[in-house]
A and B are shown apart, each in its own frame.
Chain A
Amino acid sequence: MLDELVRAAILGDKRAIARLISIAENNGTLAREALKALYPYTGKAHVIGVTGAPGTGKSTLVNELAKEYRLRGFKVGIVAVDPTSPFTGGAILGDRIRMRDLYNDPGVFIRSMATRGSLGGLARATADAVKILDAAGYDKILVETVGAGQAEVDIASTAHTTIVVEVPGLGDDIQVIKAGILEVADIFVVNKADLEGADGVALSLEVMMSLGNSEKILHHGILMEIKPATESSQPRWRPPICKTIATRGEGIKALAEAIEKHLAFLKESGAWEEREKLRASREVEEILRTELLKRVLSKVDRQAIEEILGRVVKREIDPYTAAEKLAGGLT
C-alpha cells in the first residue's frame, strides 16, 4: 500500500501526497520507508521560507507570491505551520483563510500543519512534507512558519531562501540588532508599507546590516560609505529590503524578482551546494542521534535505567557519569 502511495505521489496525485504527509506526521516507521523511496526524486524544488511575528501578513504574502509564481508557470506547494496548544494538544490552523484565491488551482497544493510540540517555528514533519512536495514535482515550495518571535530559526536550515517579514510599529531599532531571527534573513520584507513608520523600519534594517557589513554607517542622520577592513574574495549576499502591501498585491513582483536573484546567487556562488550539504549533515546527525539513543535504551533494561536515574536524584552519581554508564552498554 505504501509503495502505491509513493508511486502515485511522484506522479502528482494529490490524495497520495496528502496521505503521505499525514503518515509523516503520525507514524515514524512507515514515514521513514516512504521517505527512503521518495528521496531520489527530491532536490529539484526551490524552498522558500517565510517567517516573522504574528500578524505581520505572512499568509497574505504567501498567497500573493503563489499567485505570482502561477503566472510565471511554476507549480507551487505551500506548507503553513500554526502552533499546537501546549495545554490541550489541539490547534486552530487558520492560514488557509488568506489563501482562498488558490483553492481551485490544480497547480497549487496547500497543507496546514500544527507544531505538535516543536519549538523552532516548524513542525517535526515540516521537512518531510517539503520532501514529499518536492518529489511530487512542485517547483516552488513556500513554507510559512508559526508567528515567530526572536529565536525560531529552524526555517533557515529547511529553506534555500528565507524571507523575514517586518511591519511598522513593533519596536525600536535595538530590536533589529538583537541576535536571532533577523540573522537568518536572505530577504527582508517590510509589509503594510502604507502604514506610518514603514520607512523607519526599512532604515533600521539597512543600518543593522551596515553595522555587520561595515559598508555604510548612519552618522548624524546620513548614510556614509566606509571601506571594509578586509576585502573578502567570497562573493557576499546582502539581503535586499522589499516593501510590500500584500493585501493589495503591491510590491510582490519586485519581491519575486529578489527571490530569483537570491536563487541565482546561490547557484553561481556555490552556496546552494553548501546549504544542501549543511542540511544533509544536520539531518543525518539528527537521525543518528535518535537512532543511537534508541539503541542504547534498547540495550539497557528499563529497571537499570530507573536505578541509575534514582542514584542521580539522590546525588550518589552525577548525570555525566550516568550517561557514560548507559552509553557503555552500546559497545
Chain B
Amino acid sequence: MAEEKIRVLIAKPGLDGHDRGAKVVARALRDAGMEVIYTGLRQTPEMIAEAALQEDVDVVGLSILSGAHMALLPKTVQLLREKGLDHVLVVAGGIIPDEDIPKLKEAGIAEVFGPGTSTQTIVEYIRNKVAEIRRSRKNA
C-alpha cells in the first residue's frame, strides 16, 4: 500500500497581492514531502472551501496581509464546516495582530504563524497535527 501523502491547499484570500510568503511555505511543504495545491491570489472563502472539498486536502493554509483576516478567515472555516469538512486543519499566516489571534482560534483557526516563523516549525506542526487527526478519524 502506498504511503498516504499529506495534501495541503495554500490560498490567499482577499485582495492583497503579496504572495512571497505563501510561495515560501508552499515550497517548504513540498520539500517536506507533502502535496501542495497552490491556488494563487485573490481567492474568496467560497472558492477556497470548494477547492478544499474537491482536492480532498488535510490542511488549508491561508496567507493574508490585507488586514481583512477577521472577516475572511472565520468565514472560510465556517464554509469548510458547512461542507462537512470537519477534519480539515486550518492554519493562517501573514500580518495578523496578536490581539486578534485568540478570536481567530475561537473561530476555528488552529494556529497562526506570523512573520519570522521558521518553515521547519510549520512543517512539524502540520505533520504532528495531521497524524493526530488521522489517528482519531481511524478510531472513530
- What residues of chain A have their CB less than 8 Å away from a CB belonging to chain B? 14-15, 17-19, 21-22, 25-29, 84-85, 88-94, 96-97, 100, 103-104, 109-112, 114, 116
**Bound form: Cα–Cα A116–B85 in Å:** 25
Contact, CB under 8 Å: B30 / A110:
no
Residues of B within 8 A of A114 (CB): 5, 35
Contact, CB under 8 Å: B33 / A89:
yes
Contact residues of B between 32 and 72, Cβ < 8 Å to A:
32-40, 43, 46-47, 50-51, 53-56
Chain A proximity of B85: nearest CB distance (Å): 8
Residues of B within 8 A of A85 (CB): 30-31
7 A-B interface contacts by CB (under 8 A): A14-B53, A21-B56, A27-B2, A100-B39, A110-B51, A111-B55, A114-B35
Contact, CB under 8 Å: A29 / B54:
no
**Bound form: Cα–Cα A61–B55 in Å:** 21
**Bound form: Cα–Cα A1–B43 in Å:** 33
Decide: A18 near B53, CB < 8 A? Known: A26-B2, A104-B46, A116-B2: yes
Residues of A within 8 A of B2 (CB): 25-28, 116
Chain B proximity of A78: nearest CB distance (Å): 9
**Bound form: Cα–Cα A4–B76 in Å:** 28
**Bound form: Cα–Cα A104–B53 in Å:** 12
**Bound form: Cα–Cα A85–B2 in Å:** 16
Residues of A within 8 A of B81 (CB): none
Chain B proximity of A67: nearest CB distance (Å): 16
**Bound form: Cα–Cα A17–B55 in Å:** 10
Label chain A's interface by main secondary structure: mixed
Contact, CB under 8 Å: B47 / A103:
yes
Residues of B within 8 A of A112 (CB): 37, 55
**Bound form: Cα–Cα A29–B2 in Å:** 11
Contact, CB under 8 Å: B50 / A103:
yes
Q: Mark B18-35, 1 if CB is under 8 A from A, else 0.
A: 000000001101111111
Query: B105 near A: Cβ within 8 Å?
Result: no
Residues of B within 8 A of A19 (CB): 56
Query: B129 near A: Cβ within 8 Å?
Result: no
Residues of A within 8 A of B54 (CB): 14, 17-18, 109-111
Decide: A92 near B36, CB < 8 A? Known: A15-B53, A22-B56, A26-B2: yes
Residues of B within 8 A of A18 (CB): 53-56
Decide: A90 near B33, CB < 8 A? Known: A96-B39, A112-B55: yes
Chain A proximity of B89: nearest CB distance (Å): 16
Most chain B CB within 10 A, of A14, A18, A112, is at A112
Query: B4 near A: Cβ within 8 Å?
Result: yes
A20's nearest neighbour on chain B, judged by CB, is B56
Contact, CB under 8 Å: A90 / B38:
no
Contact, CB under 8 Å: A89 / B5:
yes
Contact, CB under 8 Å: B53 / A92:
no
Most chain A CB within 10 A, of B1, B46, B85, is at B1
**Bound form: Cα–Cα A278–B1 in Å:** 28
Query: B84 near A: Cβ within 8 Å?
Result: yes
B28's nearest neighbour on chain A, judged by CB, is A90
Residues of A within 8 A of B37 (CB): 93, 96, 112
Query: B83 near A: Cβ within 8 Å?
Result: yes
Residues of B within 8 A of A109 (CB): 54
Decide: A90 near B84, CB < 8 A? Known: A18-B56, A27-B2, A100-B40: no
A28's nearest neighbour on chain B, judged by CB, is B1
Closest 6 CB pairs of A and B: A90-B30, A97-B40, A18-B56, A103-B47, A89-B33, A22-B56
20 further contact pairs, Cβ within 8 A, besides A21-B56, A26-B1, A96-B51: A22-B7, A26-B2, A26-B5, A28-B2, A85-B31, A90-B30, A90-B33, A92-B26, A92-B27, A93-B35, A93-B37, A93-B38, A97-B38, A103-B46, A103-B47, A104-B47, A109-B54, A110-B54, A111-B55, A114-B5
